Amino acid sequence: MVKLTQDIQAAFEVEDNYGDAPDTALYHLGLLDTFDPRAVNMNITPVPSIGQSTDAHHASGPIDVTLPLKVALQGTGWQELLGNAIGKTDISGSIDTAHCLTTNTYSHVILAKDLSTGHHTLCNGVVVNEATLEADYTAGGYMTLDCACTAMYSEDDDDGAFTFVPISGGAAMNYNSLAFPSAPTADPLLPTDMTLSYSTATVANALVITEASDVGNYIEVGERYMRFFTEDDAADSGYGASGPIVATGVIDLDHSDYDSGSRMTTIKVDIDAISGVTCTENSSTTDPQNLVKGIYKLTAGSATNIPAVASTTQTLTEFNNLKTVSLKITNNNTPIPGKTDSKWLQNNGMARGKADITLDITATAHNEDLYDLYRAGTTLPLVRLDFGTNGSIALTNGTITSFSRPLSSGGEVVDTLSIKFRGNGDYRNYSAFAISTDFTLQ
């Protein structure tokens, strides 16, 4: 039988631990563009011998599995892959999101199925090392997420009952009793379904919080959630779950209480109600999701200022006349070779590296706004990619690192710029908030 690409579909599941598939539920990955779950390098080393072939013997090294994977922005698969590149944060027992860059390894098992034959290929320990979200307004077509992934191991099986036993031991991975999920019915997102906007100014003291006596407490502000911690990194129990406080120490900035009117005033009242805390605001109608993402330390008796972009909506100043948009997350992950189930694996373990967040844009030049920002070295406190009901991505403190505007005869003038991001705040690793999303992960 001739294999056809349209017969191949893929599903994913979040792993309990790196390389350890729970075998309990599968979710469709969405529309595939590029996919190769059999990209396996055996690391064969030739061993020469005098008077014989150059390859008289072969020595097998660790099995190295890579997974080229490109999907359309359809369903939830692309959000899971993007969340993998950023890192998963357990906001509370029922809420997981890509709240900020993390240091922990968050992995998936990805199962490919040939619908014409029923054959399966499984990759476990899938970690995204580089993810590029792309939108091309000139060529047409869907937005895509292009990922360079590593995997712990790849295995084939006729019916989905695999033999590989993960690091944790116990039973081998078995998916033959689970129904393969149906593909998403909604069309993938188009470039026109995304709004890209930015701001150049903030209200420095949009939200002002003062604690009377607690020393060392701090606040995290992400795209969707605001989290309050004590000095020992425990959720602040003073903020008990109620209404917009969706879990102990966690405020949902997208709660319906903040949908209209004096939004910042409303969240100020919620925070001010906590014993020993005084909160004021200086930007009453600002959407709380426009607080600048970062980590802010609370000092006993002193005011902590949290800045915000003064806008009643999440759409700020739009980038006009866009031609292409590319958001790239590059992680310098470190593979750790080792042995599992009698197999030497190049990616037996995975250590997360530092992330580099870059936004590349090309747009038809129509004024000097972007060039002026570049020449002035202006920092963009907030850049947002808004996908409507499909969530949003916030990028914090962007610096335009390069700008070009080449002239050519007979054509329009095109601006090309690259922006790098870092988080905001004054405590711990606030640079982790260079990127934050409101995606809810599986």
The helix/strand/coil state of 375 is: helix
Helix, strand or coil for residue 82?
Answer: helix
Distance, in Å, from the CA atom of 323 to the CA atom of 364, rounded to the nearest integer, reads 7
Q: What is the pLDDT of residue 242?
A: 86
| Cα–Cα distance for residue pair 442/435, rounded to 1 Å | 19
pLDDT at 337: 95
pLDDT value of position 167: 83
- Between β-strands 245-247 and 435-437, what pairing exists: parallel, antiparallel or unpaired? unpaired
Q: What is the pLDDT of residue 215?
A: 73
Largest CA distance in the chain: 86
Alpha carbon dihedral 234, 205, 359, 143, in 10-degree steps, equals 80
Which pLDDT score is estimated for 55?
75
Residues 6+ apart with CB under 8 A from 236: 217, 228, 229, 230, 248, 249
Residues 6+ apart with CB under 8 A from 322: 135, 137, 191, 196, 361, 362, 363
- Between the CA of residue 56 and those of 95, 188, 362, what are the distances in Å? 56, 52, 54
Which pLDDT score, from 0 to 100, does residue 1 have? 61
Output the CA–CA distances (angstroms, integers) from residue 142 to 134, 256, 437, in the order listed.
Answer: 9, 31, 21
Residue from 359, 322, 324 nearest 131 by CA = 359
Q: Using DSSP, state whether 160 is helix, strand or coil.
A: coil
Q: C-alpha angle with apex 131: 191 to 398, nearest 5 degrees? A: 75
Which residue in this structure is represented by tokens 């969707």? 224
**pLDDT at position 300, please?**
85
| Distance, C-alpha 402 to centroid of its chain | 24
Q: Give pLDDT, residue 213.
A: 76
Q: What is the pLDDT of residue 428?
A: 87
CA atoms within 13 A on the CB side of 265: 5
Structural domains in the chain, CATH included, are: 5-46+57-190 (2.30.110), 202-308 (no CATH)
| Cα distance between residue 208 and residue 215, in whole Å | 16
Q: Report the amino acid identity of residue 251.
A: I
Sheet with 303-308: strands ordered across: 277-281, 203-211, 303-308
Q: Which residues pair with 150 in a beta bridge?
A: 66, 127
Low-confidence ranges of the chain (pLDDT < 50): none
Give all strands (DSSP E) within 61-199, no chain letters. 64-72, 89-92, 95-97, 108-114, 120-136, 144-151, 153-157, 195-199
Residues counted in the chain: 442
